[in-house]
Amino acid sequence: MPVSEAPADAADLAARPGSARWGATRPLPALNGGEAVPAEAAPEDGSGRRVAAWLCGGAVLLAAALFWLVRGALIDDAYITLAYARNLATGPHWGLIASEPANAATSPLNILLLGGATALLRLGGEVDPVAGLGVVIVGSALAMAWWWGRIAAALRLPPLAPALGVALVLLNPLLLSSTGLEVLLIPAVLIGMLAAAIRGRPVAFGVVAGLAVLTRLDLVVFVLPLALSSAALRRGLPRAVGAAVAVSLPWYAWSWWFFGSAIPDTFAIKTVQRAFGPWSFGNGPLDLLNRNPLSTIVSFGPAVLGIVGIIGWAVAGLPWRRVVRPDLVPAVVLGTAGVAYYAVYARLGVPPYQWYYVPTLVALGTSLCVLLGVALRQRPAVRRAVALPGVALVACFLAGSVVVNVRDGVPWKMPPLFGNWSTPDGYATIGRQLGQRVGDATVISPGEIGALAYFCECSIVDAFSDRGRAVPLIEARLAAAGPATRALLELNYRRLDRDQQPRPAEYRLIWEAETVTGPDQWSSWSPSAGSGRFRLEAIPAG
């Protein structure tokens, strides 16, 4: 029999005649509609609140513990974000280095939150963006857990489903290896949009959708399908659009006016890079698998299982067999959009930066946990054949994640997935000594700039910190674009000052796979690059 959309929330359900407050007298729909089966005793409203409280409390404690684990082992790109946050908190100034404005922050919301947290903590004395990062991590985990609680209440999922969903995000080695970037904001906003879609809240959806495109503009790949996945959202689409525009437009309008581009310069920088040798985004997981088998398996495994779950849901809901349960459509759409996101990035041909995979992993993992939660409420045959094996596999992935996260000791000295030229401690030492050596002079970066800029606190430049060096890459991206894409990019860059010149530099820092042989050189080592050196050379006048 057809199943109507899920009620907006527990209170709405409890108020309906005969609902018995989620009790056993109300039949529970099957996974894809079909014949209803008797429900297990569902929690009272107070029990639901207690479950949500435990979920949020556990997420906060786990996030705090994981921040302690990773805070000394941040990758180079994380320090780009932290340098932006420090300059915003102390400036206010939007840029990687204090001497130049820049538009290479992919996640404006992450910078704004980090800068705000750093500024608040600054009232207590020291400027510490890493401590601000801890605040943002814990806050993101809390928001994610709270929205998971709303999803569980609306769909009447057992507590195990949201607990698995939160754990799959927080313990994922790939996400932890990218801490400092927007990798926890992404799951927070994706799960927030899913909660609003399932509960049929157009304005709430619009607000979170606005935050999503401020987290990463490319998350619009998720916004559009989710906005159409629920009948209530479709009816309230004008309100959802209005809320999303009100939240996101001020930033993008300011960026377009002030920087000459609404989209960050990283779009041009990364798409011009194309690949790292034979490895691009599309085949990048194979490279990760070759270099870090266990870390890659436990990071990507739940997403693969999520694809299997979505296919199974679709097959079970074929029109000539069953009626698709409407309140599950947003969860399936989220996972499907995760696959579409992967396809879009593969088509763009960008390098396989590990954090680029986070939206897909989170979307598919979330869909998986929702479907497993629904399956756990089905008749015993479904539980034995589908739910329990799925939960067992997820438990194996989580156990493997724990092993990966602790096997090299705690707290981390470097992440399990790491591709920089020097360790975090090595970069900190080199950066501080470089700052003392060059003073107020300008240095051209060797190619990795984040940690050096953060610890050097000097004028170190490349396309990420100097708009004059970004303009040629923007022009190259425009030249390579097709007619439709080029027209859109030309509109975006209409106000760009294309006559900006690179900041004059007195020094150049070079990384080489050689040993130290003289002054102004620093040795380096990392698992991916091996032994090498950073060599500072003066640039002749003129």
Domain ranges (residues) in the chain:
45-72+103-406, 424-538
What pLDDT, on a 0 to 100 scale, did the predictor assign at position 51?
84
- Contact indicator for 203, 244 with CB cutoff of 8 Å: no
CB–CB of 200/232 below 8 Å? Answer: yes
Q: What's the CA gap between 481 and 488, in Å, rounded?
A: 10
Which parts of the chain have pLDDT scores under 70? 1-47, 317-324, 542
Share of the chain above pLDDT 70, in %: 89
Residue 325 is predicted with a pLDDT of 76
- Tell me the residue type at 456: C
Per-residue pLDDT reduced to its tens digit, 366-399 = 999 999 999 999 889 889 999 999 999 999 999 9
Q: pTM value? A: 0.91
Please report the pLDDT score of residue 10 as a whole number. 37
- pLDDT given at position 494: 95
pLDDT at 126: 85
CA–CA dist 93, 101 (Å, integer): 7
Amino acid at 516: V
* Torsion-angle region of 439 (φ positive above 0: left; ψ -120 to 50: alpha; else: beta): left
User: Is the distance from CB of 158 to CB of 372 less than 8 angstroms?
Assistant: no
- Spatial CB neighbours of 421, under 8 Å, sequence gap ≥ 6: 446, 448, 511, 524, 526, 528, 529, 532
Q: What is the pLDDT of residue 318?
A: 61
pLDDT digits (tens, 9 = 90+) for 123-137: 877 899 999 999 999
